[in-house]
Amino acid sequence: MQEIQFYLVDAFSDKNFGGNAAAVCPLSEWLADDVLLKMAQQHNQSETAFFVRTDEGYELRWFTTLAEINLCGHATLAAAHVIFEYLDHPSATILFSTRFVGELRVTRNGDWLTLDFPGVVDLPGAKPAGGSADRVGTRGRR
């Protein structure tokens, strides 16, 4: 059986069991999607971030216990924390390549990490269907 190191990171907190937890798994190469999903289920966190080193930075993917997801901010910051703290990243910036939202950049300044989060993400299936926008108050009053 292959051993894969993982980290449990509490994003948005400097206290154990605080913030928003995410599992982070550095990989040397991508494993099959069903294996990644089973690993996320085993970690049993809201999200598990998986990354693989590339020439330009890192490829990054996120899984819940049910499926791969398009984007996760706290798990991205958790992955960056692991890279900066445990994998000796040589610069103050990490470039993540993702399947669904393109490039994400995380910059370190002292103890702070800043994520250039996409301002508008047009994800398939992300828009409310059939006038539900009116019901949740996302349109102006008439």
| pLDDT tens digits, one per residue of 15-60 | 878 889 999 999 999 999 999 999 999 999 999 999 999 999 999 9
Mean pLDDT lowest among 41-55, 106-120, 128-142: 128-142
68-69 and 93-98 beta bridge pairing: unpaired
In terms of average pLDDT, the best of 2-6, 17-21, 112-116, 128-132 is 112-116
Q: How confident is the model at residue 124 (pLDDT cuts 50, 70, 90)?
A: low
Q: If phi over 0 gives left and psi between -120 and 50 gives alpha, with beta otherwise, what is residue 68?
A: beta
pLDDT bracket for residue 88 (50, 70, 90): confident
Q: Give the pLDDT mean for 113-129.
A: 70
Q: What is the CATH number of the domain that holds 67?
A: 3.10.310.10
| Rounded distance between C-alpha atoms, residue 107 and residue 130, angstroms | 40
Among 29, 21, 25, 33, CA closest to 74: 21
Asked if residue 43 belongs to a domain, the reply is yes
Q: What is the extent of the structural domain holding 82?
A: 7-135
**DSSP state, residue 44:** T
140 is a domain residue: no
Rounded CA separation 120/7 (Å): 30
Q: Which of 47, 56, 68, 103 is the catalytic position?
A: 47
> Is residue 1 in some structural domain?
no
Identify whether 93 is part of a domain.
yes
pLDDT at 67: 98
Confidence of residue 132 (pLDDT cuts 50, 70, 90): very low
Distances (CA, A) of 141 to 71, 131, 132, 138: 31, 14, 14, 9
- Domain membership of residue 21 (yes or no) is yes
68 belongs to the catalytic site? no
Q: Cβ(50)–Cβ(63) under 8 Å?
A: yes
* Number of folded domains that form the chain: 1
Average pLDDT over residues 4-24: 90
- Residue 136 banded pLDDT, cuts 50, 70, 90: very low
pLDDT at position 108 over 90? yes
Q: Do 24 and 87 meet the contact criterion of CB atoms below 8 Å apart?
A: no
For 8-25, letters b (16+ CB in 10 Å) and e give ebbbeeeeeeebbbbbbb
141 occurs within a structural domain: no
Task: Give phi and psi for 68, each to the nearest 5.
Answer: -70, 145
